[in-house]
Structure 1
Amino acid sequence: MRKISIVVIISLIMLPVLSSCKDKKADQKEDTDTATEMATEIQEAPMNELTSAEIAEGWVLLFDGKTSEGWRGYKKEHFPAAWEIVDGTLHMLGSGRGEAGSKDGGDIIFDKQFQNFTLSLEWKISEGGNSGIFYLGEEKLDYIWKTSPEMQVLDNERHPDAKLGKDGNRMSGSLYDLIPAKPQNAKPAGEWNKIELTVYKGTVVHNQNGENVVEYHLWTPEWNEMVADSKFPALNPEWADVPAKGYIGLQDHGDDVWFRNIKIKEQ
């Protein structure tokens, strides 16, 4: 009888402990399942669409993957024929004419001006290709790059621009011809790169493939001095006076380039 009583007592003592362990395992499994579901949702988010979390955060699509809605040629009312929508991308059909671009091409802009924002997109460049992402651009001169800072898009391995300029300031992710992207973490031609470009009250940050590679501040003495020592004043004496609000543009540099998942969050 004593042995049976001891077993019963021990069982009664251990029951809450076992029950607690069981509950913890259930909670852990539930947490794991939730994390797995969230990861799956992130991985399976459709191309050129926003997740519910992004919508809640205020992100807006600038490209739906199917049409050129919202986009037009720089200083044009139409969308240039040399740009096409293919496989969910904005694709520039390379002309092989370099900076001269395509006959019915040219840079394109989104038909709205932005001030404080984070722009997110993915880009892929062809072998030996060159392109760029413009921001705070104005539509008053013959080319947007004569008024706008540019985040460089480049095949660093093959395009000669990678060896020009100063200290690599014409390589991918750089503030073109002014500040080199460091670290230089661009993926090879033919592979997708992801960028986030943040502009907030004069502070500008280039993020490439998950790393901040450029940071600078507009309108400061340091900015003015840096621009004065570049090629831009000869092209536009007012280039340093970047407006607080302007256009976002994608460059036709005569080479095949693809863009997708273009979205923006204004602040």
Structure 2
Amino acid sequence: MKRKISSSGITKTINLQLAALFISGTVLIGCGESKKKSSDEETVDTAANTEETVAATSPNQLSEKEKEEGWKLLFDGKSTDGWRGYLKDSFPEKGWIIEDGALKVQGAGTGEAGNGGDIIFDEEFKDFELSLEWKISEGGNSGIFYLAEEIEGEPIFTSAPEMQILDNDRHPDAKLGKDGNRQAGSLYDLIPARPQNAKPVGEWNKVSVLVYRGTVVHTQNGENVVEYHLWTDEWKEMIKDSKFKDWKSFLNAGGDDKKGYIGLQDHGDDVWFRNIKIKEL
């Protein structure tokens, strides 16, 4: 016996099928929109990550994150704007050049002060973190000064602590001083860098100097290598037993205002600097 299907039953079946198709289409559209939204978000994230990567791998640039954190470039890789000779009104006419995006001392071959002399950035800083990269030539010597004062008739090192730059393998200073306190990263002639992790000649070393209310930290290639405290009894005792003992300006580094200039040393050897930036604390 054949079962008779009513017209109302057919209509109901068709309506249910149409509803299922509508729901399925809505889900597909929703998934498409979700995928599109996810894709757009990934594009934004990728762009941001690309910018950070470029800033991290391209010299003399600040990422958006660094800008937000308050970092300031002291060298853009193209000009010497902001820099001048120590006790000078302008940048040295010889002895310093820009080479492949780096600020370079042209070695004079004398083993001491070269043709250009030391340079400073023309702004004083008090509490700060200074970050830069350097590489040295064979047998080379240089340094990074901080809290320097300009004192007529006196070289910069009579007032400023120095983070040493050196070819530890060839320069005799590496074996002089005491316990390696003239090797790269050290507080020159006072506190040795530990661990001693400087990279070989021709390779870039990333370093930083943090100064905050008298606390000073040298960082070299990702490790803290020196820590000390200015103006304390321990500082005074350490200076008393050193070659700096007669330099009152060195003992009172930063002067009465506890601030000073950032300086780069011309010691007569080829040395390169880049990615020079600072954040005031």
TM-score normalised by the shorter chain: which range applies? 0.7 to 0.9
Q: CA deviation at 1:33?
A: 8.7
Q: Which amino acid is the alignment partner of residue 246 of structure 1?
A: G
**Residue among 58, 65, 70 paired with 2:77:** 65
Q: Which amino acid is the alignment partner of residue 251 of structure 1?
A: Q
What is the distance in 1 between the residues matched to 2:266 and 2:49?
A: 36
Match of 2:232 in 1: 220
1:18-37 residue CA offsets vs partner (Å, 9 max, x unmatched): xxxx9xxx9xx999998876
Alignment of 1:43 onto 2:53: yes
Rg larger for? 2
Match of 2:108 in 1: 95
- SS in structure 2 of the partner of residue 224 of structure 1: helix
Q: Residue 216 and residue 35 in structure 1: after superposition, are their counterparts in 2 closer, same or farther (change >3 A)?
A: farther
Q: How does 1:7-156 map to 2 (within 5 A)?
A: 40-45=50-55, 46-80=58-92, 81-99=94-112, 101-103=113-115, 105-140=116-151, 141-156=153-168
What is the Cα-based RMSD across aligned positions, in Å?
2.1
What is the distance in 2 between the residues matched to 1:199 and 1:93?
A: 29
- SS in structure 2 of the partner of residue 44 of structure 1: helix
- Comparing 236-245 with 187-196, greater Cα deviation is found at 236-245
Q: Is the 8 A contact 2:52 2:64 kept in 1?
A: no
- SS in structure 2 of the partner of residue 225 of structure 1: helix
Return the TM-score normalized by structure 2. 0.80
- SS in structure 1 of the partner of residue 245 of structure 2: helix
What is the distance in 1 between the residues matched to 2:43 and 2:217?
A: 36
What is the distance in 2 between the residues matched to 1:47 and 1:159?
A: 28
- SS in structure 2 of the partner of residue 121 of structure 1: strand
What is the distance in 2 between the residues matched to 1:77 and 1:142?
A: 16
Percent identity among equivalent residues? 64
Q: Residue 32 and residue 223 in structure 1: after superposition, are their counterparts in 2 closer, same or farther (change >3 A)?
A: farther
Q: Which amino acid is the alignment partner of residue 178 of structure 2?
A: K
- SS in structure 2 of the partner of residue 120 of structure 1: strand
Match of 2:13 in 1: none
Q: CA deviation at 1:196?
A: 1.3
Q: CA deviation at 1:246?
A: 0.2
Return the TM-score normalized by structure 1. 0.84
Q: Residue 166 and residue 34 in structure 1: after superposition, are their counterparts in 2 closer, same or farther (change >3 A)?
A: farther
- SS in structure 2 of the partner of residue 196 of structure 1: strand
Q: Residue 159 and residue 38 in structure 1: after superposition, are their counterparts in 2 closer, same or farther (change >3 A)?
A: farther
How many residues align? The count is: 240
Q: CA deviation at 1:86?
A: 1.4
Q: CA deviation at 1:72?
A: 0.3
Match of 1:209 in 2: 221
Unaligned runs of 5+ in 1: 1-21
- SS in structure 2 of the partner of residue 54 of structure 1: helix
Q: Is the 8 A contact 2:158 2:249 kept in 1?
A: no
What is the distance in 2 between the residues matched to 1:58 and 1:146?
A: 31
